[in-house]
Structure formats: structure tokens, C-alpha cells
Amino acid sequence: MNNYEKYKTHMRKIADVSYASGVLNWDQETYMPQGGAEIRAQQLSTLAGIVHELSSAGEFGTLLNTLSADTSLSEKEKRNIKQSLKNYNDSKKYTTAFVQEMSRSVSEAFQAWQQAKEKSDFSLFAPKLEKLVQLKREECKLLGYENHPYDALLNQYEPGAKTKDIEILFADVRSQLVDFVKQIAAAPQNTDAFMYRHYDKQKQWNFGIDLLRQMGYDFNHGRQDVSSHPFTTNFSSQDVRVTTRIAENNLSEMIWSCIHEGGHALYEQGLPISEYGLPSGEYISLGIHESQSRLWENNVGRSLAYWKGNITLLKKYFAEELKDITAEDFYKAMNLVKPSLIRTNADEVTYHFHIMIRFEIEKALIEGSIEVKDLPSFWNKKYKEYLGIEVPTDAQGVLQDIHWSHGSFGYFPTYSLGSFYAAQFFAKAQEQIPNLAGEIEKGNMALLLKWLRQQIHQYGKFYPADELCEKITGEKLSFGYFMDYVKNKYKYIYNL
């Protein structure tokens, strides 16, 4: 066995243990009985320790350094080694004890968050979150950073991104989106009242399965379940699972959960199984991952063409509830632009105000300018400032997202990055796929999925996010594509 084969064997062993942990995490959020929480935290902590030991073993580092000097490797192999060596050097900055403590703290925080959200009482979550924030501040010091400690966390989800880059991005949001939202608010408003009629849970579930199949989601290598917060997880490209959320008095919950998570899942199912365990078999960044979910959810799923094609199918399930509704009515209802409390239910324009608030909170928490005890009042203040909304309860406010209970600080900005990448990618897809809107209206998503497979999914981590964007579109990420997209769309919807 040559050195590169030894490397692949070791990487796949790490992946095997990591994905075994992933199965336990998925079960924890879907089927695990509440009484199993304590031992599950211990199991996940043990597996996290094993992954860290495998990832930071001295002999593995020696092998990586030897391979990094091997000029006989192919370009893909060289990039795999470069990425793995970076990950190895980062792993060496952690102790096994720290990794296990982080894993245990995340499991405990998740259980506390679930209880706190159910009772709408932030104080039940606060002690566990405070522990996580302390660990995250320590992690920033372990990893090191150039300008701001938040850089270290952001880099875990969007490699190479800096806090100052995100600040510039949200400056664009403030300078361009705020005024556009005011224009929409001053226009005659559409209604979405019919979205809140009673819609049977089982019928919604069946319709969601139809939408996933139409997108190209492979149920032979995946499944859907219900969870309190929709998510996608995978244990290889051959086992990619999604969850959804269903409310019988809100049709939007299930539809957008299914399409959004389906977009994530299609990316994971499109990664090459031959590269399992290697960087070339992994997604590039969460910004690119979010571009796939947001492209399907917004550029496709919230388009008029999509609902011209799917309104008949929807009415097959809800003929009486929607007997007075046309495809255009549905299109306008799903694209209302108005401030809202819940991020996951927000329209695609004001959505970025929700992300901006979370970014500002995370940045302040990590730098220490606010503390966990200040979160509810700080959150409520920001919602009043940016969205003009009073937050009535903790459950509808600071407890609405699962991310902090997972220790996922640095994740939220990737949602906005994803939307902006999606607009740019979709613009290019429209150029290169003849009559794409017409194909979508016919229910034919195969051409778009094939384009995404060829342009993005097949490469794994071969290209960094910025390099991939330039390869596909001929330029770096530009906020202008998103602004052009929303202006063209909403000028029609609101007769601006």
C-alpha cells in the first residue's frame, strides 16, 4: 500500500467514526426518548474524542507532511493533502479533553434548549449556553485569528471569510435592501390569509414527498422525518436524510422546509461516493451549501413558473381549501414582503435582517461586549430596531433557532452568503439552460439538477468557494445579482 492509499484508509476510518456519531445526533433530534439524553451525551463525547485522536495522531501528521512533498500526486490528490494537513494542524491545537467537553456541553445544551423553547423560558437554557460561549471564546484563542476572534469561528463554516467581509456585506444590505423594503411597504399589499386555513397534516406530508421526488431527491438513498427544527444530515452520499416541520394552520411551514432541506440533500447526494472520507468528497463551504438550498427554495420554489406547474398537484390534496386560489394568487401570497418574528418563515428579502441581527449578537458575545444574560433584551432591541417588531415571548425570540444549542457560532452569516451565491448561480443557469422557466413550469427539474451536479456537486472541495464562483460565473460573488433578482421579481408582484 503506497502512502496515498494509507492516507485514504486513515481518512475513511475518521469518516466512519464521525458519521457513526452523526447517526446518534440524527436519532437524538428525531426519535430518542428524553430519558436517553445523559448517556447519549456520554456516547457522543466518547466518539468525538476518538475522532480527535485519529485526526491529530502524530503518525498521521508525519504521513501528511511526507505526502505534501510528493510531486507525483495528481492535482486533486495534492489539494486533498493540502486541506487535510490544514485540518490536522488545526486539530493539534485542541486537546482530547477539550473536544470531549465541547461535545458533552453541546448535547446538554441541546436538551436544555428543547425544554426552554417548549416552556418559552430562556433562563432554563442560559447556564448551558453560557458554558458553550465560554468554550467558544477559548476555542478562538486555541485556533488563533488575525483581527477579530469571531474570524476563527466563521472560518470553520466559510473558509477564508473574515468578520470585516461580513460587515461589508451587511452594509450593502442596509444601504440597498432597507429602502427597497420601504418601497414595497408603501405599495398596495397582497394577502396570504388562505395559507392559514386548516390543512391536514398527512396530506401536507404526502405533498412534501411529491415535491422532493420532483426535485430529484433519491429516496432509495434518503428519507424524511419530522423534527422541531428542519435539518439535513448525511452519513455518506448514499444516505442523506432530511426532516421537516408541519403546522396544520400554516401551509408554508412544510412546503419551504421540504424544498429548502431538499436543496441541501441534493448537494450531498451529488458528491462523489468514490471520494468518501476525503476533502474531494465533501461540500466546499456552508455558504455554497446554503446556495443550493436557497436556490431551490427561492429562485425555483418561490417562482411563478414553479407554481404554474404545481398548483394542480397541490389542489389534488387540498381542492376545497384552495378552490378559489389561482397559481398567481399563490405566487403572490408566498412572496409577501413584511417584517416577521420567525427567521425560517421570513420572506427572502427581510430574511437578511434576521441574519444581520444574529451576526451582530454572535460577534458581540464572542468579543465579550455582551454576556449570555443580556441576550433576550439585546435580541428584542435589535428586532425593534431593524424590523420594527415587538418580541412577545422567548420561544418566538431568542430561543427560536437551534444553532447556538449546537455550538454553531459563525454559521448564521452563511445563510445570507448562500442567498447571494444562489442568485448569481441561477442567473448563469438561466443563460446556459434553454427555456429554464418553461422546463420548471412543466415540472422538469432534471436539467437544472444536472447543471448543478456538473458545475458544483461533482467537485467536492476541489475549488474554494470564491474560486468556484468565479469559475462558474466569470466573476467573484457580487451582491448586485441578488438585488437585480429581487427588484425584477418584486416590482412585478407589487406593481412598483
CA-based end-to-end distance of the chain: 66
* Block residue for cell numbers 431527491: 217
* Block residue for cell numbers 414527498: 209
Q: How big, in percent rounded to 5, are the helix, strand and coil portions of the chain? A: 70, 5, 25
Give, in order, the Cα–Cα distances in Å from 289 to each of 160, 267, 283, 411, 486.
16, 7, 7, 11, 21
The catalytic residue among 29, 139, 261, 275 is 261
Please give the helix or strand (H or E) that residue 239 lies within, else none.
strand 239-244
What angle, rounded to 10 degrees, do the helices at 58-68 and 3-30 form? Answer: 130
- 261 is an active site residue: yes
| Cell matching residue 402 | 437551534
User: 244: which strand partners?
Assistant: 226
Determine whether 43 is exposed, middle or buried from the number of CB atoms within 10 Å of its CB (0-12, 13-18, 19+): middle
Measured CA to CA, the distance from residue 422 to residue 443 in angstroms comes to: 20
Determine whether 168 is exposed, middle or buried from the number of CB atoms within 10 Å of its CB (0-12, 13-18, 19+): exposed
Q: Are 176 and 483 in contact (CB under 8 A)?
A: yes
| Closest-CA residue to 105 (of 144, 134, 140) | 134
Q: Read out DSSP for 152-197?
A: HHHHHHSTT--HHHHHHHHHHIIIIIHHHHHHHHHSPPP--GGGGS
Report the amino acid identity of residue 211: L
Q: What are the catalytic residues? A: 261
